[in-house]
Amino acid sequence: MMSDNHRLPIIHLDLDAFFASVEQRDNPIHQGKPLIVGGISDGGRGNLQRGVVCAASYEARKYGIYAGMPIWEAHQKCPKGVFLPARLNKYIKESRKFFQICSDYTPLIEPLGLDELFLDISGCEALFGSSEIIAKKIKERVNQELGLKVSAGIAQNKLLAKIATNLGKPDGFFTLYPEDVPKILYPLPLSSLWGIGKKTEERLKKSGIYLIGQLAQIPEPVLENLLGKNGKRLKLLAQGLDNSSVTIPTSKKSISKETTFSANITERNILIKELLKLSQEVGYYARKEGYQGRTVTLKLRFHNFTTLNKSITLENPTHIDENIFKIALKLLDKIKIKKGGVRLLGIKLSNLTCSNQLIQLNLLNNKENKWVQLTYTLDRLREKYGFTAITRATLLEQEKIED
């Protein structure tokens, strides 16, 4: 039980193997079997060479299958697995029900995706009880009302609550008390620490730092020399210290990203590559903050500081990178690049609607659905390894030049 001198107001909840669990729930014949969702257009195996894994049941994970893996590789690892197309419209409906259950206990909800969120129950204890009681009630309701299992982590901050959830999976319930941080947190590998990207992890390992406890005890000057300004922040996280609050998605007017070039650009192919990069960033942050937009604006500032803005407003809102890029490219094709070149390039997504990170699929557009599946899979990988951990092949040559 929670000691009197500790208030643990943060709950992290994560639906276990969400997409796969919905399929197993709706098709009892698949329960207990290795089930892989994503990458195919129908229930057959005619298209297994294309696409990636969107989700894998825990039975499938025993074969080393994970989200983002190519479907063909998953089939090699588990040829007798059940491969199903993603039904994102169904998952969206179930996700909304999940969020609604959670909102019955606190208005302070921060979404992390369709299947994951933070709750801050500060001030709600008098109505519903402690964080442990509330988490148990939510787990029971999700199981009874949705037929799904959700893992819960409880702690004094978001970082520790998310780690607690991972320690308890699947169908977990784990409370991480402050006095237990050294005993529980320090022996964990660096990859368990939310906020460490793959490149940072590799850099630390090259310096002989493999565990969170090692990172927590490294002198700050050493870490700053190794990681720069980010070193101090990561050391605090390794010590279990996190001051970030549970943030409710707020109403925004637009989401934009810009690049100012060190030298004016006249080559259209370079501008196109930069558009692709900016589209990925705008789309990612729109989804992360729970927005879709109907208007895409392309911004160019030429060598003489003349600024040009061109926009297209869509019938249906979007936050998918590929859609944003195609519209921006269409706008660029209508603009004549002046001889002096372009010094600034930007993309803005506006006319926003709050979607709680949920989208309405065009069920008649299978190609569109495939892009949505791929986009959400990439988001999961970026949340785990950092935004730059995965990129389009088209950008690799450009990134190599910039490095």
Cβ atoms of residues 47 and 84 within 8 Å: no
The four Cα atoms 163, 230, 356, 28 give a dihedral, to 10 degrees, of -30
Q: What is the DSSP pairing of strand 82-84 with strand 35-37? A: parallel
Our measurement of the distance from residue 304's CA atom to the centroid of its chain's CA atoms, rounded to an integer in Å, reads 39
Residue type, 198: K
Q: What is the DSSP letter of 48?
A: T
Count CB-CB contacts under 10 A for residue 263: 7
402 counts as catalytic: no
Q: For 1, how many CA atoms within 13 A lie in the half-sphere containing its CB?
A: 5
Interacting residues of 396 by C-beta distance below 8 A, sequence separation 6+: none
Cβ atoms of residues 68 and 53 within 8 Å: yes
Residue type, 49: Q
**Active-site pick, 23, 94, 116, 289:** 116
Cβ atoms of residues 271 and 344 within 8 Å: no
Q: What residues are labeled active site?
A: 116
